[in-house]
Structures are given as structure tokens and as C-alpha cells.
């Protein structure tokens, strides 16, 4: 008989408004040339933040804002994929392995379908386990539907 590993699930969420500055749009480590960037203390990579928060929640290691506070100048302009790698390291050091993460990026634009595989590949490498990425539209509803920003919801499964 096989022993069943401990399994935990965590949920992550992130949202950023579009920036008025000339910042690049970075989602899942992919730069979207010609698109308006997102405002944030770091590079505002919404899927990277949501995936990191989902992993932290699953491992009961706090949240992204506690580890990398947005009022700390050390994290100004930080590479969110680097932050995700640090989170993955902490999750692993706590004795957990990433089984799967699912991230749903919600935006009206840009069109994400052509980039989902590249985002998933980048996020998987940083998280140390498989990450799937899907794109969703808000169908014109709310701030996301009015093209005021981008959000992401992520669910992570980790095992021992």
C-alpha cells in the first residue's frame, strides 16, 4: 500500500491598474511590446504575484506583501520572476514540492492566447513545478472590463 503524501492547496490573487508612465507590460515574464504597462512598486507582473501568493498560502508562509513590502525601497522595480523563485525556494525549504499551479489572467487586452504557453513555461521554471496559464475576459464588466487594469487568480497544490 502506498502512503498518501500530505497535500495542501493555496489561493492567490493580484491586480494592478494600468500605469500612466512609460513602463513595459510584463505578464508571466513575457514582455508585451507596444502595450501599456502596469503600475506597481515592482515590475507589476500580475500572474507572477498571484502564483507566488498561492504557493505561500499553501505552505502557510505568509504572503507576498509581508515578504517583499511595497514600502521597502529594496523591492522598487523588482523582477517579479525573481521574487517567485525566492518564494519557490522558501516553499521547498519548508519541505514542500509544487504539484501544480493554475493561473487565470483576467483582462480585456492584450489578447493572451498567443502568449499563454510562454507565460506557463516561464512561471513553471520560476515556481519549480508545472504552472498552467489561461486568459479570461471580464466581458466589459467592472474596472477590468473597462480596461483599467489586469487581475489574476491562482490556485496552487503542493505536496510533501
CATH number, domain with residue 17: 3.30.1330.50
This prediction has a pTM of 0.95
**What's the confidence (pLDDT) of residue 5?**
72
Q: Is residue 2 part of a domain?
A: no
**From CA 82, how far away is CA 159, in angstroms rounded?**
23
Q: Is residue 130 part of a domain?
A: yes
In terms of DSSP bridges, do strands 7-17 and 149-159 run parallel, antiparallel, or are they unpaired? Answer: antiparallel
* Residue reference for cell 514582455: 31
Question: Can you list the positions of beta strands (E) in 18-148?
Answer: 25-27, 30-32, 97-106, 131-136
Q: Is residue 62 part of a domain?
A: yes
Q: Is residue 80 part of a domain?
A: yes
pLDDT band at 77 (very low <50, low <70, confident <90, very high): confident
User: Could you list the residue range(s) of the whole structural domain that residue 151 is in?
Assistant: 7-159
In whole numbers, what is the pLDDT of the chain averaged over residues?
95
Q: Is residue 70 part of a domain?
A: yes
Q: Is residue 68 part of a domain?
A: yes
Report helix, strand and coil shares of the chain as percent, to nearest 5: 35, 30, 40
Q: Is residue 1 part of a domain?
A: no
Question: Can you list the positions of beta strands (E) in the chain?
Answer: 7-17, 25-27, 30-32, 97-106, 131-136, 149-159
Q: Is residue 21 part of a domain?
A: yes
Res. 4: pLDDT tops 70: no
- When divided into structural domains, the chain yields a total of 1
Amino acid at each position: 500500500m502506498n502512503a498518501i503524501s500530505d497535500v495542501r492547496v493555496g489561493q492567490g490573487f493580484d491586480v494592478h491598474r494600468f500605469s500612466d508612465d512609460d513602463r513595459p507590460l510584463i505578464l508571466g515574464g513575457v514582455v508585451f511590446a507596444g502595450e501599456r504597462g502596469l503600475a506597481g512598486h515592482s515590475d507589476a507582473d500580475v500572474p507572477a504575484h498571484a502564483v507566488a501568493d498561492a504557493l505561500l498560502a499553501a505552505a502557510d508562509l505568509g504572503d507576498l506583501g509581508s515578504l517583499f513590502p511595497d514600502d521597502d525601497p529594496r523591492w522598487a522595480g523588482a523582477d517579479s520572476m525573481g521574487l517567485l523563485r525566492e518564494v519557490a525556494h522558501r516553499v521547498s525549504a519548508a519541505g514542500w514540492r509544487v504539484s501544480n499551479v493554475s493561473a487565470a489572467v483576467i483582462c480585456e487586452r492584450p489578447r493572451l492566447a498567443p502568449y499563454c504557453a510562454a507565460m506557463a513555461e516561464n512561471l513553471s521554471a520560476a515556481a519549480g513545478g508545472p504552472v498552467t496559464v489561461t486568459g479570461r475576459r471580464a466581458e466589459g464588466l467592472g474596472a477590468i472590463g473597462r480596461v483599467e487594469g489586469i487581475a489574476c487568480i491562482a490556485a496552487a497544490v503542493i505536496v510533501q
